[in-house]
Amino acid sequence: MLTVHGFRSQFGEEWQCGAQLTRQRWPEGFACPRCAGPSRGYMAVRRVHECATCGYQCSVTAGTIFHKTRTPLPSWFWAIYRMSHDKKGISAVQLAKEIGVSYPTAWLMQHKIRKAMQDRDQGYTLNGLVEVDEGYVGGEEHGKTRKGRGAKSKSVVAVAVEHRGPGEPGRPPIPGFAALSVLPNAGSKSLDSFLKDKVRPGSHVLTDGWNGYWHVEQNGFAHTAIDLSKQDQPAHKLFPWVHITLSNLKRFLLGTHHTVENKHLKRYVAEFNYRLNRRTMEEDLLTRLLRASLATQTITYKQLIATPELT
């Protein structure tokens, strides 16, 4: 893990960050995004390559989350470093202080990075024995008399976690990768869609007795449903990793960000999920997220605030 001094020595200057982005985007040399042609030459004043085949001029940041940014690249690199390495994430308020930008700028930068995280994990699926459940994320509902699936004011988050093998005696199974998604509700249609998107066909799905999972087998999965009302053990013992994951997600949202609007929740969940699945990859987290950022189209402030409710 880089120290602050080590980070500044490697990425403290604009040219150092530009060189790193170039290595990650074009490891075998410039390839035109329009025709894949080679570079005729680099125009240092404008910081663009010109394609020798079609004449298209392209910077290393074009078509990425850094597209047309006015924020210095070292500030972007620091934001990416902090969001990839800190288990609790970093708030926009704190990031704004650390890199010397306004709160709206820091907030927008973070959402662009979250989009890169979300896009990178979009096609990944779980397999084998997969523990599945859903929980509710949101603030307190004043006067609420029901808990769990009856909490109407909260957003539904589905969680699936692979089992990689039995744990030590008295300990939960060894966890693998996890998948989390914000759903419109906890009905069978939403849960079916989540499983089809995030779990490979043929996997063995372990759920509780909620009727939203009633036709999991019809979708190509083996299925074991445990009726919690007939068990001596509590739910968090029978489904340890989905409960631990949901608990950590809630702690991340409440502890770091305090409140999150429903329409932006999917990206915060994606950020949490991205870090969770790379918890053993500390050595190259920055490089991985830089690559994801280069492979993702940017999103504007106007688009973010215009996004409709997602739950």
Q: Are 118 and 136 part of one and the same domain?
A: no
Sheet holding 204-208, edge to edge: 174-183, 155-165, 129-137, 204-208, 222-226
CATH code assigned at 253: 3.30.420.10
Q: Are 85 and 187 part of one and the same domain?
A: no
Instruction: Supply the range of the domain harboring residue 11.
Output: 4-122
Q: What does pTM read for this prediction?
A: 0.90
Q: What is the CA radius of gyration of the chain?
A: 22
What confidence tens digit (pLDDT) does each residue in 181-206 have?
999 999 999 999 999 999 999 999 99
Helices (H) and strands (E) in the chain, counts: 11, 8
Q: Are 169 and 114 part of one and the same domain?
A: no
Q: Are 152 and 230 part of one and the same domain?
A: yes
Q: Are 133 and 263 part of one and the same domain?
A: yes
Distance between CA atoms of residues 65 and 300, nearest Å = 9
User: Along the 311 residues of the chain, how does pLDDT read in single tens digits?
Assistant: 788 899 999 999 999 999 999 999 999 999 999 999 999 998 888 889 999 999 999 999 999 999 999 999 999 999 999 999 998 999 999 999 999 999 999 999 999 999 999 999 998 999 999 999 999 997 554 444 344 555 556 899 999 999 998 877 878 889 999 999 999 999 999 999 999 999 999 999 999 999 999 989 999 999 999 998 888 888 888 999 999 999 999 999 998 988 888 889 999 999 999 999 999 998 899 999 999 999 999 999 999 988 665 44
Q: Are 135 and 104 part of one and the same domain?
A: no
Distance between CA atoms of residues 183 and 187, nearest Å = 9
Structure token digits, residue 177: 């990768």
Q: How many structural domains is the chain composed of? A: 2
**Residue 101 within any structural domain of the chain:** yes
Which residues does residue 305 pair with via DSSP β-bridges, in sequence order? Answer: none
**Residue 235 within any structural domain of the chain:** yes
**Residue 276 within any structural domain of the chain:** no
What confidence tens digit (pLDDT) does each residue in 88-105 have?
999 999 999 999 999 999
What confidence tens digit (pLDDT) does each residue in 1-31 have?
788 899 999 999 999 999 999 999 999 999 9
Q: Is 47 helix (H, G, I), strand (E, B) or coil?
A: coil
287 backbone dihedrals φ, ψ, rounded to 5°: -60, -45
Give the pairing of strands 204-208 and 129-137.
parallel
Per-residue confidence (pLDDT) for residue 262, from 0 to 100: 87
Distances (CA, A) of 28 to 19, 24, 25, 93: 13, 9, 9, 39
Distances (CA, A) of 130 to 52, 175, 221, 245, 247: 50, 9, 10, 14, 18
